[in-house]
Amino acid sequence: MTGEDAEAALPADELQEPAIRVRGLEKSYKDLQVLRGVEFDVARGGIFALLGSNGAGKTTVIKILATLLRADAGSVTVSGVDVACEPAQVRESISLTGQFAAVDEILTGRENLVMVARLRHLPGAGAIADDLLERFALTEAGARRTSTYSGGMRRRLDIAMSLIGNPSIIFLDEPTAGLDPEGRLEVWRAVKELAVQGATVLLTTQYLEEAEHLADRIAILHDGRIIVNGSLAELRQLLPAATVEYVEKQPSLEDVFLSIVGRAK
């Protein structure tokens, strides 16, 4: 049976089921209410950006989705599995890359990848490492200690490590935080590669340009709620085009973000 035949054999409701479904998500830390009924869906495949300022609650959402934190209220399913009821099953289909590269600086790039593959009891750890080094343009640096890597190289290696075991859903929490412009571009290329390979990517970011450049859909998280959610084209329709020297100028994501967040205050 071909991939298309197998897909055609699936029930229509299963085909349409989102990779991630979030409903009524609430979370407080003592008297501080961080999430106030967050709701969104992430379709299978492609890149979904959760955009918001520092302290908006983006990392809290990611931690709940990745089973690292329990919500106070609401429901979350990942690949159709409830994260609160069956966290172990959820973890089998996801990977999480945090805000700081989790690489061992004493080891080489290749040794980091081999170590993770062996910890996951996968056969052919060396071949897995070599394939990922090639995919993320790190082959020449594979024999070097990661302490010699640039910030962008470390993040690319970190993302490569998260792919070991072929997770279908990848969470990237502020993947370019602290990187210089060159490092950010390196990571952007790596993130696009994930989508090309068929993974579903949910990334959090406070960088408007990053969301605009990478995401198929963008949700803006503000004051604990999703205040807008759509494609870049749909978000741009929320503001009228401006005319500058007789040339129509479409609003940027920055224009939309500042307008929407300003109205929500």
Q: With contact defined as beta carbons under 8 Å apart, do 202 and 50 qualify?
A: yes
Band of pLDDT at residue 251, cut at 50, 70 and 90:
low
Q: Report which of 44, 177, 165, 169 is spatially closest to residue 98, judged by C-alpha positions.
A: 177
**Tens digits of per-residue pLDDT, 56-96?**
899 999 999 999 999 999 999 999 999 999 999 999 899 98
In a domain, 111, yes or no: no
Q: Report which of 6, 51, 70, 65 is spatially closest to residue 213, judged by C-alpha positions.
A: 51
In a domain, 113, yes or no: no
| Range scoring the smallest mean pLDDT among 24-38, 187-201, 250-264 | 250-264
Q: With contact defined as beta carbons under 8 Å apart, do 229 and 50 qualify?
A: no
Q: Which CATH number covers residue 238?
A: 3.40.50.300
In a domain, 191, yes or no: yes
Q: Report which of 79, 1, 50 is spatially closest to residue 173, judged by C-alpha positions.
A: 50
In a domain, 9, yes or no: no
In a domain, 61, yes or no: yes
- Fill in the amino acid letter for 164: I
Q: With contact defined as beta carbons under 8 Å apart, do 33 and 224 qualify?
A: yes
**Tens digits of per-residue pLDDT, 151-163?**
889 888 988 898 8
Band of pLDDT at residue 176, cut at 50, 70 and 90:
confident
Q: Which domain holds residue 255?
A: 18-103+149-264
Q: Provide the whole-model pTM.
A: 0.81
Domains contained in the chain, number: 1
Query: Distance (Å, rounded) from C-alpha 40 to C-alpha 62?
Result: 13
Compute and round to an integer the Cα radius of gyration of the chain: 20
In a domain, 255, yes or no: yes
How many residues in total does the chain contain? 265
